[in-house]
């Protein structure tokens, strides 16, 4: 659990908002999910200053907040690409980071890093951190690729690409300035880390924690510890384990064939999928309740946001979702799809099909710009399609 960010986080944000308003920043808005405040086109990450003020007297805390607010640049202040380029850093966040607050101009630029995890770019100023948005790119007149490349280049210059050598479990607790959870993004860094004998396995349970373990026989306690930290974190990243493949590329551990920790890795992958789809579904459902439309998808007709569930059998842990007759869905991408009908008020399971087969047979395509991916389902499959799906079903 992140010891420095607790139940008083929202009260702290209120203090910052008060001082921002007093300083003339009347458009400041707080995003509790990201623990950040938006001011115009800026996003101000509050984690660093919150940690710095922990334990201070009210007077010293307010003085530190005043310095933070004074350092917030106005939208009209110089903020050119040459000035900002050295300050860029890559950061990792779950797909649903900031899902409640994104608008066209404020949407963070992002690209997939790992399943359910995106790479964003932060501007690392001395007293604040903001996240690069699409509006920022327009102001700088540069491409997203240039920004991502600069951020990784700057991080590599900070920590190098050779990795961190050490035996046993290596634990990094970030103070907010080291960007340790981004280090695996540097090509070669994770491959060069550890004891040089065993495959390095990295865990990123929250934004300030990086754990590297050697690939030994018993990692169950590490997975359990990481899962607990992830579940309790105010700003989680992932419960998954990440390692390097035979080419040195960083991949989730569950993608390593026949790995001895594959069951643990699959369980962690399922947990991440369920969490992210659950957060997304809550936002979609609330948007329908409030606006009768989806954020950034106003033309998409409303439908039931399907859920993802966890199951485990002889093949190991996996996720499932339901495709029921006479229901319109925004179908999540699970490992398997269960086809069901309602007979006299009783749910009847027909068969269970691996998702790739479902997508191929029914021609599913993801809804554009929706992350995590969902698929628009408006009709029950035809008898011919059902027959093909049943032929591809998992034997009972």
Q: Taking a C-beta distance cutoff of 8 angstroms, is the pair 335, 318 a contact?
A: yes
Is pLDDT of 77 > 80?
Answer: no
Position 384 scores a pLDDT of 98
Is pLDDT of 63 > 90?
Answer: no
SS3 of residue 370 by DSSP: coil
Burial of 145 (0-12, 13-18, 19+ CB in 10 A): exposed
Provide Rg for the chain, Cα atoms. 23
Which of 130-134, 138-142, 308-312, 336-340 comes out lowest in average pLDDT?
130-134
354 pairs with which residues across the strands?
Answer: 336
Is pLDDT of 286 > 80?
Answer: yes
Phi and psi of 123, rounded to 5°?
-100, 115
Is pLDDT of 3 > 50?
Answer: no
* Between residues 123 and 41, the one the model is more confident about: 123
Closest among 246, 256, 240, 302 to 115, alpha carbons compared? 240
Burial of 345 (0-12, 13-18, 19+ CB in 10 A): exposed
pLDDT confidence band for 9 (50 / 70 / 90): confident
Preceding amide of 283 cis, omega within 30: no
Domain spans of the chain, in order of start: 9-158, 160-260, 271-391
Is pLDDT of 362 > 90?
Answer: yes
Residues of 83-95 as b/e, b for ≥16 C-beta within 10 angstroms? ebbebbbbbbbbb
Q: Strand order in 336-343's β-sheet?
A: 309-313, 316-324, 336-343, 346-354
210 pairs with which residues across the strands?
Answer: 172
Position 144 scores a pLDDT of 97
Which of 33-37, 148-152, 238-242 comes out lowest in average pLDDT?
33-37
The alpha carbon of 245 is separated from its chain's Cα centroid by a whole number of angstroms, namely: 22
Does the global pTM surpass 0.85? Answer: no
Q: Where are the beta strands (DSSP E) in 282-355?
A: 304-305, 309-313, 316-324, 329-332, 336-343, 346-354
Position 100 scores a pLDDT of 66
pLDDT, one tens digit per residue, over 47-60 is 878 877 887 888 88
pLDDT, one tens digit per residue, over 202-230 is 999 999 999 999 998 889 999 999 999 99
CA dihedral (115, 87, 27, 13) in degrees, to 10, reads 70
Q: What average pLDDT is seen over the chain?
A: 90
């Amino acid at each position: 659990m992140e010891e420095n960010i607790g139940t008083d986080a929202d009260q702290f944000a209120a203090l910052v908002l008060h001082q921002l308003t007093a300083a003339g920043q009347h458009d400041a808005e707080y995003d509790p999910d990201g623990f950040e405040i938006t001011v115009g086109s800026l996003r101000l990450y509050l984690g660093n200053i919150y940690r710095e003020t922990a334990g201070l007297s009210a007077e010293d805390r307010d003085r530190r907040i005043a310095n933070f607010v004074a350092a917030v640049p106005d939208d009209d202040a110089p903020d050119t690409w040459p000035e900002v380029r050295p300050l860029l850093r890559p950061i990792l966040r779950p797909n649903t980071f900031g899902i409640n607050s994104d608008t066209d101009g404020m949407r963070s630029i992002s690209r997939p890093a790992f399943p359910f995890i995106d790479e964003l770019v932060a501007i690392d100023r001395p007293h604040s951190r903001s996240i690069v948005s699409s509006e920022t790119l327009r102001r700088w007149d540069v491409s997203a690729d240039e920004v991502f490349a600069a951020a990784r280049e700057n991080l590599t210059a900070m920590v190098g690409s050779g990795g961190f050598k050490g035996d046993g479990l290596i634990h990094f607790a970030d103070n907010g300035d080291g960007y340790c959870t981004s280090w695996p993004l540097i090509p070669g860094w994770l491959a060069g880390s550890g004891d040089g004998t065993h495959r390095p396995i990295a865990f990123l349970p929250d934004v300030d924690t990086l754990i590297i373990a050697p690939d030994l026989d018993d990692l169950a306690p590490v997975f359990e510890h990481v899962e607990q930290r992830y579940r309790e974190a105010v700003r989680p990243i992932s419960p998954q384990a990440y390692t390097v493949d035979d080419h040195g590329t960083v991949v989730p551990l569950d993608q390593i064939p026949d790995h001895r920790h594959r069951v643990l890795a699959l369980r962690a992958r399922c947990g991440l999928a369920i969490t992210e789809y659950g957060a997304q579904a809550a936002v979609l459902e609330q948007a329908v309740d409030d606006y009768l439309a989806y954020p950034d998808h106003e033309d998409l007709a409303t439908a039931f946001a399907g859920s993802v569930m966890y199951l485990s059998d002889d093949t190991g842990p996996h996720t499932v979702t339901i495709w029921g007759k006479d229901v319109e869905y925004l179908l999540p991408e699970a490992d398997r799809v269960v086809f069901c009908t309602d007979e006299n008020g009783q749910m009847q399971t027909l068969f269970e099909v691996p998702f790739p087969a479902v997508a191929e047979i029914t021609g599913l395509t993801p809804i554009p710009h929706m992350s995590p991916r969902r698929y628009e389902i408006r009709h029950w499959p035809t008898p011919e399609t059902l027959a093909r799906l049943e032929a591809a079903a998992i034997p009972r």
